[in-house]
């Protein structure tokens, strides 16, 4: 009797975790539209904790749907249920790659993980590869040059005293992980190496694989996994990516213009703060370091030899900064409202960022000249409204707006030059999670509730006219993958 009760609690927690992840993504404005290398886009993939489905982009006709048993009421309560944790499916050469997780025990490592390759044509499983180690937070899959790289780890230390938080990893010896390389076409294992520590998502560039173990940045050969070098700061840990960063496919390791940029964490007074460093990709030696004095840092954006970084909580004087990518010297800083720096958007030489101030206080969207930081325009919500999320496409700024807990969220489109409203739409009559992204002249809005039904609304980007919608009884991730 006790075993059944424990099983029920375990699986209820597992279902709730995936469902809460949906709510966090929508509420925090995390949206990602992923395009494959195809020259034309005809279909879109939509994903949730229990399904992945392919639709015709223009008509909304469902081509196929792959379903797990996460929310099924048709199976025995003693059957372990499987949920999809690969929030952004990888797509390449006619295959769709998803990651599923199934609880099988009562310890932190009591899960099995399976990478499944589905046919893009009909959704059937072509091959799979499974393991038992606990995966990294979010999605540990990286696809590069026809190879899928998986990084995962398991806790081997004292189960009663795990690290207090992902940003305080403790000793890497308390964790044992691995990195494996699989052929993307058939799942054949090319190589596998064991590494100590909580391994991050891997980043691949110029035949080198970069990842963190919580204390150091490791550079591995992408061809066989042997270590080339490591960088370990004296006064800080490698900052762990929070769950939202993983959902957006982001990693704090960026390889561009011959340098490796990454975030490290150190203690400053009674706070933990994040710095940005640049390393030589051949030797791992430090090139420069930017001391932020801020407790959080946005994903850096690199353009025209400049790194744009938002600093949050504590960096009152420099909440947003543009750094020379070669030297790390600040070209300009923008002093906006103190608080958490949301992820900015760079488009056509203009930098858009949301100024989040205090709870209950509406935040503006500010347009800055990327070359000098001058304010070009400020988009301020009407009285009683709060901008939740935003995206930019061509000459239009798209935002989700909420007025109160009792009224539905809306999608509004503003003219970027004048700020005038072009159109608005209320996809749902209920005040639930709402997020929007725009691509291929279509606006995709996901409306979802925790453990409740979800709907994808597809609107004409220029007019807001609804083209089609897809409703499901399952939660849905704010993910649209063009194929």
Q: CB–CB of 310/355 below 8 Å?
A: no
Structurally, the chain folds into a number of domains equal to 1
Query: What's the pTM value of the predicted model, to 2 decimals?
Result: 0.82
Domain that holds residue 7: 1-79+386-483
Could you report the per-residue pLDDT of 338-381, keeping only the tens digit for each?
Answer: 555 577 899 999 999 887 655 555 568 899 999 999 999 998 87
Mean pLDDT within 59-88: 69
Measured CA to CA, the distance from residue 427 to residue 404 in angstroms comes to: 16
Whether residue 195 lies inside any domain: the answer is: no
Q: Which of 300, 302, 281 is nearest to 208 (CA)?
A: 281
Residue identified by tokens 């070209």 is 331
Whether residue 261 lies inside any domain: the answer is: no
- Least confident range from 9-23, 152-166, 440-454: namely 9-23
DSSP single-letter state for residue 427: -
Could you report the per-residue pLDDT of 297-313, keeping only the tens digit for each?
Answer: 888 899 999 999 988 76
Q: CB–CB of 302/346 below 8 Å?
A: no
> Does residue 239 carry a pLDDT above 50?
yes
Show the tokens assigned to 377: 């325009």
Whether residue 286 lies inside any domain: the answer is: no
Q: Which of 358, 352, 432, 357 is nearest to 399 (CA)?
A: 352
Whether residue 298 lies inside any domain: the answer is: no
Mean pLDDT within 36-62: 82
Report the mean per-residue pLDDT for the chain.
77
So what's the pLDDT on residue 357?
54
Whether residue 36 lies inside any domain: the answer is: yes
Measured CA to CA, the distance from residue 473 to residue 22 in angstroms comes to: 14
Higher pLDDT, 337 or 55: 55
Confidence band for 171, pLDDT divided at 50, 70 and 90: low
Whether residue 425 lies inside any domain: the answer is: yes
**Percent of the chain, pLDDT > 70?**
67
- Least confident range from 23-37, 146-160, 273-287, 407-421: namely 23-37
Residue identified by tokens 């006219």 is 465
Whether residue 399 lies inside any domain: the answer is: yes
Whether residue 1 lies inside any domain: the answer is: yes
The CATH code of the domain that includes 447 is 2.40.10.480
């Amino acid at each position: 009797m006790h075993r059944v009760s424990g099983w029920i609690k375990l699986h209820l927690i597992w279902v709730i975790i995936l469902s809460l992840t949906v709510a966090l993504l929508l509420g925090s404005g995390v949206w990602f539209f992923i395009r494959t290398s195809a020259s034309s886009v005809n279909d879109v993939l939509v994903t949730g904790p229990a399904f992945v489905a392919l639709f015709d982009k223009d008509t909304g006709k469902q081509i196929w749907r792959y379903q797990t048993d996460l929310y099924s009421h048709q199976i025995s309560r003693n059957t372990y249920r499987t949920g999809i944790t690969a929030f952004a499916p990888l797509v390449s050469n006619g295959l769709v790659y998803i990651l599923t997780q199934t609880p099988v025990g009562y310890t932190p490592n009591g899960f099995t993980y399976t990478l499944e390759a589905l046919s893009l044509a009909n959704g059937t499983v072509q091959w799979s590869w499974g393991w038992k180690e606990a995966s990294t937070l979010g999605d540990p899959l990286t696809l590069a040059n026809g190879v899928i790289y998986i990084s995962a780890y398991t806790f081997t230390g004292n189960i009663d005293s795990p690290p207090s938080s992902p940003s305080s990893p403790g000793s890497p010896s308390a964790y044992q992980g691995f990195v494996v390389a699989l052929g993307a076409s058939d799942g054949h294992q090319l190589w596998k190496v064991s590494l100590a520590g909580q391994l991050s998502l891997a980043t691949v560039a110029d035949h080198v694989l970069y990842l963190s173990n919580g204390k150091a940045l490791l550079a591995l050969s992408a061809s066989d996994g042997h270590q080339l070098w490591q960088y370990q700061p004296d006064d800080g840990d490698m900052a762990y990516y929070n769950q939202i960063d993983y959902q957006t496919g982001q990693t704090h390791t960026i390889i561009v213009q011959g340098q490796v940029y990454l975030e490290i964490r150190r203690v400053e007074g009674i706070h933990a703060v994040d710095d940005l460093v640049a390393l030589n990709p051949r030797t791992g030696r430090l090139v420069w370091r930017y001391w932020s004095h801020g407790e959080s840092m946005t994903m850096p954006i690199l353009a025209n030899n400049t790194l744009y970084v938002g600093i949050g909580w504590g960096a009152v004087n420099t909440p947003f900064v543009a750094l020379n990518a070669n030297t790390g010297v600040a070209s300009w800083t923008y002093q906006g409202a103190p608080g958490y720096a949301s992820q900015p958007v760079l488009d056509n030489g203009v930098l858009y960022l949301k100024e989040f101030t205090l709870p209950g206080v509406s935040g503006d969207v500010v347009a800055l000249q990327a070359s000098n930081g001058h304010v070009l325009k400020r988009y301020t919500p009407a009285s009683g409204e709060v901008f939740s999320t935003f995206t930019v496409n061509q000459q239009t700024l798209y935002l989700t707006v909420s007025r109160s807990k009792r009224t539905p969220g809306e999608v509004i489109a503003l003219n970027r030059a004048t700020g005038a409203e072009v159109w608005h739409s209320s996809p749902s009559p209920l005040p639930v999670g709402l997020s929007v992204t725009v691509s291929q002249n279509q606006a995709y809005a996901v409306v979802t509730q925790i453990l409740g039904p979800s709907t994808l609304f597809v609107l004409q980007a220029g007019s807001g006219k609804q083209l089609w919608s897809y409703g499901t009884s399952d939660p849905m991730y704010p993910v649209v993958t063009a194929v």
